[in-house]
C-alpha cells in the first residue's frame, strides 16, 4: 500500500494562485492589527466581477442592497432553466464566503464562479452575502449581518424568483463563512422563524479554533499553503473584541470546546461537514462533526485526504467538481424528506 503524500499534489496553476493570494494577504496585515485596505482594493480590483442580468453558463445574477449604511448586500444567482416555471420550486441556498472574516466578498471572481456553479448544478437560488469585515467591524457584526439577511428574505420575498422555496432553505459557507453559517443557523433555531425553514447546513472546511495547538496545526506548519497558525491567530485577534473571556476558547471560535453552547435542545438542521487532509484546521472540523453527533444531531462527514484548505474554489481540481456533486446530493436528500 502506497504511503500518503507528504505534501498536496496540485497543478502549478493552483500553486501559483495560492502563492499570490498568500503574499497579498500577508502584505496587507499590519503589526498594529489593522489591514491595508488600499492594497487589498488594488489587488481585488483585478479579480472582481460585476453582476450580469444576461445569463452566463445558464445563470443570471443581480446585486441587492439590504442596508447601505453597513454595506450589507447579496448577489443573487438564478438558474435560467427554471426561471418563470412555477412548477419547479427551487431550494434557496444562503452562502457566506470565506476569508478569515477579514478578506473577500461575493463579487470576487472565484466566489462568483463557485456560486454560479452551485445555482446551476444543485439547482437552487443562491444568495451570496456580503457581510462586514474585521478588524474594522468585530464580532458580533458578521453574525448580525447574517441573521439580518434571513429576516430580509422573509420580509422581501418579492425580490426572489417566484419559484424560490424558503421552506427548503440551506445555509452554506466555506472557512469563516462556514463558521458564520453555523452560528446563523443556531440563532435561527432559537428565533423559531415561521416563514423560512432551514433544513440543511453545509459547512465547507469551517474556520474554528481554540487556545490549544492541535496535532494538525503542528504537523502541517509549512505544508498548508493557505492557512497557518500565525495567520489564524492574527485573524482571530482581528475578529474578537478586546475584553474578559475574549480568547480563542470563546464559544464562537472553539465551537465544540468547554464553553460550547447547548444545541441539544434545538431543532438544528442536518449538517454536512467537509474536511481536507492538508488543511491545518481539520482537527477542529472533525471535533465539530463529533460534537454535532454527540448532541444528537444529524451530521455527515466528507473527507478529501489529499486536498488543501479552499480546494473547491479551484475548478481545475477534480475534487472541486466531486464536492459540488456531494453538496447536490445532500440538498436533494434533505428536500426529499419534506416532500
Is residue 309 among the annotated active site residues? yes
Show Cβ contacts of residue 93 under 8 Å, excluding neighbours closer than 6 positions.
118, 122, 124, 125, 126, 127, 169, 170, 171, 172, 202, 331
Annotated catalytic, 105? Answer: no
Could you say which of 145, 174, 279, 283 is catalytic?
279
User: Which residue among 175, 228, 256, 280 is the active-site one?
Assistant: 175
148 a catalytic residue:
no
Catalytic residue set? 175, 279, 309
Amino acid at each position: 500500500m502506497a504511503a500518503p503524500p507528504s505534501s498536496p499534489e496540485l497543478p502549478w496553476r493552483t500553486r501559483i494562485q495560492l502563492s499570490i493570494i498568500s503574499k497579498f494577504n500577508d502584505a496587507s496585515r499590519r503589526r498594529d492589527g489593522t489591514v491595508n485596505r488600499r492594497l487589498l482594493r488594488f489587488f481585488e480590483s483585478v479579480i472582481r466581477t460585476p453582476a450580469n442580468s444576461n445569463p452566463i453558463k445558464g445563470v443570471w445574477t443581480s446585486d441587492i442592497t439590504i442596508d447601505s449604511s453597513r454595506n450589507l448586500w447579496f448577489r443573487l444567482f438564478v438558474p435560467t432553466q427554471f426561471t418563470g416555471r412555477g412548477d419547479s420550486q427551487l431550494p434557496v441556498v444562503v452562502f457566506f464566503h470565506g476569508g478569515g472574516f477579514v478578506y473577500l466578498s461575493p463579487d470576487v471572481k472565484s466566489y462568483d464562479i463557485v456560486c454560479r456553479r452551485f445555482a446551476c448544478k444543485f439547482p437552487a437560488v443562491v444568495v451570496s452575502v456580503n457581510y462586514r469585515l474585521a478588524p474594522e467591524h468585530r464580532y458580533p457584526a458578521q453574525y448580525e449581518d447574517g441573521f439580518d439577511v434571513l429576516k430580509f428574505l422573509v420580509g422581501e420575498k418579492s425580490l426572489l424568483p417566484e419559484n424560490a422555496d424558503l421552506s427548503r432553505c440551506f445555509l452554506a459557507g466555506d472557512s469563516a463563512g462556514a463558521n458564520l453559517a453555523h452560528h446563523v443557523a443556531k440563532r435561527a433555531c432559537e428565533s423559531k422563524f415561521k416563514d423560512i425553514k432551514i433544513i440543511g447546513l453545509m459547512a465547507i472546511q469551517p474556520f474554528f479554533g481554540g487556545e490549544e495547538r492541535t496535532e494538525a496545526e503542528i504537523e502541517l506548519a509549512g505544508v498548508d499553503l493557505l492557512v497557518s497558525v500565525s495567520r489564524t491567530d492574527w485573524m482571530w485577534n482581528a475578529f474578537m473584541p478586546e475584553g474578559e473571556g475574549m480568547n480563542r476558547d470563546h464559544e464562537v471560535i472553539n465551537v465544540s470546546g468547554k464553553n460550547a453552547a447547548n444545541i441539544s435542545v434545538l431543532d438544528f438542521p442536518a449538517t454536512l461537514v467537509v474536511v481536507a487532509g492538508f488543511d491545518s484546521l481539520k482537527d477542529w472540523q472533525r471535533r465539530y462533526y463529533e460534537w454535532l453527533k454527540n448532541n444528537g444531531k444529524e451530521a455527515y462527514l466528507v473527507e478529501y485526504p489529499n486536498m488543501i484548505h479552499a480546494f473547491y474554489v479551484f475548478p481545475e481540481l477534480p475534487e472541486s467538481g466531486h464536492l459540488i456533486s456531494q453538496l447536490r446530493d445532500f440538498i436533494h436528500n434533505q428536500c426529499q424528506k419534506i416532500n
